[in-house]
Chains A and B, each alone.
Chain A
Amino acid sequence: MTRIPGLRSRSPVAGLDRRTLRPLGVFAQSVATTAPAGAMASTPLLVIAVAGGGALWSFAVAAVVVALVAACIAVFARRMAAAGGLYSFTAKGLGPTGAYACAVSMVVGYGMLVAAAFSGASWYGSALVARLGAGTGPVALVGAGLVVALAGTVAVCAIRGIRLVGRVMLVIEALSIGLILVVLVALAVTTAPATPEPVAGTPGGVGGIAVGVLPALAAFIGFDSAASLGVEARRPFASVPRAITATAAVTAVLYLVATLLLMGTAGAGGASATAPTAGDLSWASVLMDVGIVASFSACALAALTTLVRVLFSLAREGVAPAALGRTHRRFLTPAFAVVVAVPVLAVVAAAGGLVGVAPAAVFGGLLSVATLGFLAAYLLVCLAAPRFLARIGELTRGLVVTSVLAVAALVATLVVVVLNAGAGLLITVAGLVVVGVGGWLVLRRRRASALRGMGVYDETTTADVLGAGDR
């Protein structure tokens, strides 16, 4: 029996349901967070509106960028299993400063994604209620009621654990995708084909394709979320990277097909940037709305699942309040973080509608903040990948090229976003940056050692090594 220095007998992330989730559940987590059904119905129209006939190219470029990012994330996912996902990875390459920045980006990204999914579900849900029941009370109240109901359900599911809901999420998503594909095909078949033109006043051509990459990229956000299930996945080093790359590939194909179908539909180029509510296909729009609501609900649950694991991981490191690191005794999930996060996000989602902002604006606003958070986190993890590999002596030339290309593409996208952003978005982002930097300064003074210790993950323990001590 040998004693190995640095080997602990207990994992720092003990308390989660370790090594039990099957590969399908891991895959479901990434797919549900990406919410391909909802994105298929809305994003291609946004892209077609700016890129016209070049929309396919916009999606192709976005898919390549996502593939590069996925390759950088897989570098870490094959080597460490973390509950904090990308930020735990970043810590191993960029140290505490990068890890903190990435953690803040992830909390903003996933938090706003949950809120956006709440508001998206309530937006389409209240439209559905209005269409079916016709005039039951004021729309804003119905929307807020739907947010509360959904938030409660999602919170319970998140506490009960992913093993239970993983398969349900995948079934919901598959059904929604099927519904939306049927509707899109029906639309394409019943209407005369026409070449879509970019909306007047937008660039079109190569410039249009470039502008179209941003909304296309936004449709992919969340594909990385399986990384936060590293501790719980049964064979994380195989299933997590596979889930991430497979999600990126499957969603890319779905978006390209949806764009192709919509481009064959007359007038799509000039349609409003919401769902294609076709007047002559009322059965179709009802079905589509049902699919979209289901997809958003699954997205809210999946994004929350990742968000609470990020908070849990931060709490275990001592960066966030320790209470957030408490797990449910029976279900072995970060229950306390769920109880704290859900009400806050539900209020964020419901407040806009109650004040009188249009649901489309609330949803769009939340989603743009979320997208920025995700893009920042992806940028940091791509920067971290080559430095991490160099540190452990496993750097390859291919990965350096991948990382450089991914970083360049993400920086370019972020620059485009900031240049085209409205005042509201800029103020929000500036406010978040100020809060983030303030938090950093406070933590550096009060909890410097916790910051240095960022990046805990499910380390190999004595029980995993053959012939290492008794326990």
Chain B
Amino acid sequence: MTSPISGRQPQAVRSALRILEEVATAGVGVTAKEISAALRIPPATTYRLLNLLVAEEYLVRLPDLGGFALGRRSANLAPAPLTAPTAARAVMHRLRERVRWGAHLVAFDRHRLLFLDPDPDHPPTDADELSRHLHASGLGRLLLAEGELPDAPLTRLTPHTVVDRDELGVALAEVRRTGLARQCGEFHAALGCLAVAIRAPGDGRLVAGLALTGPAERVAAPNTELVALLREQVGELAPLLA
């Protein structure tokens, strides 16, 4: 049985935090023995606390099962402030003056979307909601096109949502080819969006996405000029965000 650490055991809490910090500074792959030696915490205590931190997902064990690394949950301890640089905001401001649709700038953090500069006049859907249903939004598809489809079932949000994996695969191949994701009435029945990928100029990494949202039937039109405008903005935004 794991012994629960109550608030009356400050030493255990202190040791756990020191272990967390040690893994962060020692780097990926540090072993339990090394941690125990570096912090002068008895081995049995170290192992127990490490297992606790792994169970809580602040740490993870590497595939060799002997080495440790910081888990994704540790990111919650020091959330990176995510705001767009002033220059990027200025670009967005100019774009909003030229189009009537909602214009949003989002950052991609692995499997999540984070709004860098949402359109104040057209409040977008909640970022967590978008992150949960990546298959149904233009911005989500930019992200999905980078990797593999998730194993989880695809939720049908509206009658138009593409939930067939093969059909979605074709759509994602199109996104990869053109760098443009289009979605009409798949998230909200009346709305649609055009989304363009913003890549780091150096390594081509997907860092952000620029989206225009508007009425579904208008999004379905070719919108050649709008797409050209979007691509032009992306060219300006990419060096500012990477």
Contacts and interface: CB of A to CB of B under 8 A. Distances in A.
A2 B47 contact: no
A460 B60 contact: yes
A391 B61 CA distance: 14
A263 B56 CA distance: 45
B62 A7 contact: yes
A241 B33 CA distance: 23
A467 interface: yes
Interface stretch (A10-18, A105-113, A199-207): A10-18
Contacts of A7: 62-63
Contacts of A391: 66
Interface string B20-63: 00000000110111000000000110010001001111001111
Contacts, number: 97
A465 B33 contact: no
B236 interface: no
Nearest to A393: B33
Given A4-B69, A6-B64, A466-B69, A396 B54 contact: no
A466 B29 contact: no
A470 B69 contact: no
Given A80-B65, A241-B2, A464 B60 contact: yes
Contacts of A4: 28-29, 62, 69
A459 B43 contact: no
B151 interface: yes
B172 interface: no
B1 to A, nearest CB: 6
Interface stretch (B70-78, B188-196, B210-218): B70-78
**A interface, size bucket:** 35 or more
A420 B190 CA distance: 75
A459 B63 CA distance: 6
B60 A471 contact: no
A84 to B, nearest CB: 15
A78 B60 CA distance: 11
Interface in A244-279: 245
B65 A471 contact: no
Interface string B71-92: 1101100000000000000000
A317 to B, nearest CB: 15
A441 interface: no
B72 A463 contact: yes
Contacts of A10: 148
Contacts of A332: 151-153
Given A241-B2, A466-B75, A471-B147, A235 B56 contact: yes
A10 B55 CA distance: 21
Contact of A465 (B65, B72, B147): B72
B169 to A, nearest CB: 14
A471 B60 CA distance: 16
Given A392-B32, A463-B110, A465-B60, A79 B65 contact: yes
A92 interface: yes
A448 B60 CA distance: 31
Contacts of B47: 394, 396
A233 B28 CA distance: 25
Interface string A166-205: 0000000000000000000000000000000000000000
A466 B72 contact: yes
Contact of B153 (A79, A237, A330): A330
A185 B153 CA distance: 49
Contacts of B1: 245
Interface string A384-407: 000000011110101000000000
A8 interface: yes
A393 B66 contact: yes
A160 to B, nearest CB: 13
B63 A78 contact: no
Interface of A: 2, 4, 6-10, 14-15, 17-18, 78-80, 92, 235, 237-238, 241-242, 245, 330, 332, 391-394, 396, 398, 459-460, 463-468, 470-471
17 contacts: A4-B28, A9-B147, A9-B148, A10-B148, A18-B151, A79-B54, A80-B61, A238-B55, A332-B151, A392-B31, A393-B32, A394-B66, A398-B44, A465-B60, A465-B70, A471-B110, A471-B146
**Cβ-closest 3 pairs across A and B:** A392-B66, A238-B55, A237-B55
